[in-house]
Structure 1
Amino acid sequence: MSRPNVVVTVLDTVRGRDTVPASSSPMSTLGDIAASGTEFTSAFSAAPWTLPSHASLFTGTYPSQHGAHGDHTYLDDSLRTLPEAFRDDGYETVGVSNNTWITEEFGFHRGFDTLRKGWQYFQSDTDLGTVTRAEHPMSKLRAASDRLFDGNPLVNAANLVYDEMADGDGADRATSWVESWLDDRDAESPFFLFLNYVDPHVEYRPPREYAEQYLPPDVTYDEAMTLRQDPRAYDVGEYRLNDREFEILHALYRGALAYADDHLARVRDALVSAGEWEDTILVVLSDHGENVGDHGFFGHQYNLYDSLLHVPMVFHGGPFHEGRRDGLVQTLDAAPTLLDAAGVEAPEFRRQMHARSLHPDADSDPRDAVFAEYVAPQPSPDRLAARFDEIPDRVRTFDRSLRSVRTDDEKYVQASDGSEWFYRVGRDPDEAWNRASSNEERTELLSDRLDQWLDSFDREEKSGEVSMSDSTRDRLSDLGYL
């Protein structure tokens, strides 16, 4: 294959617990792709939430290196990005994002010829999501009057009609756009296509036919959809969910996985119809996982459990047909792997990376450990207190950074407040028993390993939140981030 196309598909918030191995998950298309490609069953993200994990994927670096995290919510231009590397090598670069973090507002536009917001028809800085999310006609009218003249009123009106008529289904709009783009494309150059599907991110609201496959037999779809899904309110104890309710939420989550999988099938079919499938390197992965009641959490903040870090990752096309690989890898390893698969040199980009190529012919040493960081809480306890007035002392302890090192059998997590956790994950995969106090020698050895890793690269000391529009803030609040 000469100069293959490259498609990077991020299925947001898909945890490995439900999808690895792919053959046993609710995602049959992912299973089919894995069966004829290469599935990495021990893939781990470098961060537990969208902004830093995508920045690691785009730059091949860890959060402390690229500096995009809860205290600095922007990927600045100090590092090269994967789209830049492919664009500079003559590729047409196109991105379609359904997650508000992955836009130009937060620095993810660099290198893309086109970066499309899946929730807009005409691409605009004015986001009318607050209008379409309003439940009552008067609320919609007030929101529309606030936003309509922010920028170009005609563009805003068209986007508003588009969002209303399309029933808010960003996944369908994104896939339909990709299908049309592939069908109309006549360029001779290869393309780099990035896709982010926000399903199954909170709120889990899959279409009825997907949810009903997984709901308990005595629970109707309408009943399930009345469950409150507000991770930050759950964190501070404003409401509770019992085991039965989490069982229902998990069923909705699995329905959302199946729905996202059908969009993956449509993308594959579109590549086949366009005659591009045989000439395409495809990677399907997630940016992070999810706690659906795991460890007392709902969502994906404030911890580094494997439920947030272990994710699916499958490569297909070109050299990726050797089947399952069980060794430890990181999602940021996708960057050098794709460069090698496409024959892109990008020497400056390669020099910055702290990643290892997974290409079958690469001479990279296999990993004996993977690392992750939660540099700053998002949102901070102070933000939570501002929203909820009072927050429990437990939530105040979240005001800290976390770093972890994980081998096949052991895992160590260290907090900036001095707390530490040691798990024998080979025997305790649910990380239920913190053995730090009874395993001081192993804990100290892994703590030293974590220090050595941190000393192996220059770290960016950045703070300050990017100024974001009110509509972006509202959309991120809907996703449970603010």
Structure 2
Amino acid sequence: MNVVVLVMDTVRADAINTALSNATLSSWVESGTGFHRAYVSAPWTLPSHASLFTGTAPSKHGAHAGHKHLDDTLTTLPEILHHHDYETVAVSNNTWISEEFGFGRGFETFYKTWQYVQSDTDLGRIARQEEGRTKLTEATKALFDGNPITNLTNAIYGQFFRKTEDDGAARTNEWIEDWLTTRNDSRPFFLFVNYLEPHLEYRPPKAHAQEYLPEDVSYEAAMEVPQDAWGYIADTVEVTDDDFEILRALYRAEIAYLVEKIQEVVDLCKAEDEWEESLFIVTSDHGENIGDHGLMDHQYALYDTLLHVPLFVHGGPFEDDESHDIVQLLDLPPTILDVLDIDAPEAREQFQGISFHPDADETREYAIAEYMAPQPRMDALKRRVGDLPEHVRTYDRSLRAIRTDDHKFIRGSDGSTELYDVQTDPEEMNDLFETHEDVVADLDTRLDEWLESFEHADPDVEATMSKDTKARLEDLGYLQD
């Protein structure tokens, strides 16, 4: 059986329903299993994908803002499947998910859509960022770093041909179609895709945006609304309630466009007679704050706006059904191995995930999430926006959260604590910490017991990245130290 895992970067669970209700759907939603309580282990791309790949939490795999690399101390899902003679293929639209950050292990093919010709040099970044004589000077320097022809091709592609309203989904699907229709089908395949469309900045195709924008707001006016998350957090950029209404509409339009692109992949699988032989998984690596809790983007918090994500599974034992059990993305590796009937005892020994195969005996009592260090750090944020208001300094901490059926407990390294009744207060607005001491004590103890149950990662080498990669991440809003 083939395995397809499609990650819709930055899609929160409550935002996808409208897009699905407006779309013409096929079996990936209608005849698969929808998981209504799926949660990630971290609120941003790097640690969340590392958990998905290794079946472990951030404090165990060690890839987070304090160490921006997935080290080779743990086995990854693509390595397991490659060892069992799967053709392993990745298509990434997000710079974090690349070989440079440790995600290439186990993949025979790793395709990065931000490059027209696959290369270690991102000359297209210069074409996007620089102007005038500076652009010419910087491009000339970088042109000869590696293969000049490849670099020039990528620069021209980045400047003139990559669509601004598509963050790579169209090109991703073109590549998948070419690969799927020409591959040697003697082996099953594992296809992993990260789609980036719903990520800031929100610039959906005009036709999709017009379906979601308020009637009195034009597409051109919507494109002028501030999307500077860090400026908003630091009070240097004003974003009004009306602005946030527009941003939420653009965000939903991005998701609607992406739902169509996922449908294209389903249709491709059907056309190549691979659909019935595939375990097809659609999910997200984290959600998004769009004014929620006084925040934009997906940092500095562990609220469900960032942790609660969609999860749909079709194929094998997952038929037309829905689940309200608590599951996490780090549960995917053991679940996939169960569906494929792959033993992999050493890998299973490392997993912290719990299989949610319909025949599995165990279910989750709680979900755990970790935010190991702020991203961006305060000094990087200060360089971007200037002096920081005092309230922003409170974000300079790590966070952990434990979520049961009824409550969410959040604990910070600065001594901060929050408790929410997620049944009656799903938006997490009413902090019950001072009035529910017994619940706090219980969840605090359970969180400590979980932390003491495994060996934590202790990277002894600082992770580094190239200047081009750092610049591209800053293009996406990830400020770097």
The TM-score bracket by the shorter chain reads over 0.9
Given candidates 79, 87, 92, the residue that maps to 1:84 is 79
Partner of 1:239: 237
Aligned-residue CA RMSD in angstroms?
Answer: 1.7
1:385 and 2:392 correspond = no
User: After superposition, what is the alpha-carbon deviation per residue over 1:191-240, rounded to whole angstroms, capped at 9, x for unaligned?
Assistant: 00000001100001111011110000010001101122121222212202
- Structure 1's 13 and 266: CA in aligned 2 closer, same or farther, altered over 3 A? same
Q: How many residues align?
A: 476
User: After superposition, what is the alpha-carbon deviation per residue over 1:44-63, rounded to whole angstroms, capped at 9, x for unaligned?
Assistant: 00000000000000000000
- Structure 1's 176 and 27: CA in aligned 2 closer, same or farther, altered over 3 A? farther
Given candidates 142, 147, 160, the residue that maps to 1:147 is 142
Q: Distance in 2 between matches of 1:191 and 1:50?
A: 24
TM-score, length-scaled by structure 1? 0.95
Q: Which stretch shifts more, 405-414 or 380-389?
A: 380-389
State the Cα distance separating 1:160 from its structure 2 match: 2.2
State the Cα distance separating 1:143 from its structure 2 match: 4.4
Partner of 2:478: 481
AA aligned opposite 1:237:
D
Aligned to 1:58, what secondary structure does the other structure show?
helix
- Structure 1's 196 and 427: CA in aligned 2 closer, same or farther, altered over 3 A? same
Given candidates 303, 319, 322, the residue that maps to 1:321 is 319
AA aligned opposite 1:51:
L
1:165 and 2:133 correspond = no
1:346 and 2:344 correspond = yes
Partner of 1:41: 36
Given candidates 231, 247, 250, the residue that maps to 1:249 is 247
- Structure 1's 27 and 396: CA in aligned 2 closer, same or farther, altered over 3 A? farther
Tell me if structure 2 keeps the 8 A contact 1:12–1:288.
yes
Fraction of identical pairs, as percent? 51
1:72 and 2:67 correspond = yes
- Structure 1's 202 and 427: CA in aligned 2 closer, same or farther, altered over 3 A? same
- Structure 1's 59 and 479: CA in aligned 2 closer, same or farther, altered over 3 A? same
1:402 and 2:399 correspond = yes
Partner of 1:446: 443
- Structure 1's 32 and 142: CA in aligned 2 closer, same or farther, altered over 3 A? farther
Partner of 1:96: 91
State the Cα distance separating 1:349 from its structure 2 match: 1.2
Q: Distance in 1 between matches of 2:269 and 2:136?
A: 41
Partner of 1:228: 226
State the Cα distance separating 1:134 from its structure 2 match: 3.7
Partner of 2:284: 286
State the Cα distance separating 1:375 from its structure 2 match: 0.5
List aligned pairs for 1:170-209, cutoff 5 A.
170-209=168-207
Q: Distance in 2 between matches of 1:314 and 1:215?
A: 27
Partner of 1:115: 110
Tell me if structure 2 keeps the 8 A contact 1:37–1:314.
yes
AA aligned opposite 2:259:
D
The answer for unaligned runs of 5 or more in structure 2 is none
Q: Distance in 2 between matches of 1:395 and 1:306?
A: 20
Given candidates 409, 434, 440, the residue that maps to 1:437 is 434
Partner of 1:50: 45
Partner of 2:411: 414
Tell me if structure 2 keeps the 8 A contact 1:405–1:413.
yes
State the Cα distance separating 1:445 from its structure 2 match: 1.1
Aligned to 1:52, what secondary structure does the other structure show?
helix
Given candidates 271, 274, 283, the residue that maps to 1:273 is 271
Q: Distance in 1 between matches of 2:335 and 2:211?
A: 36
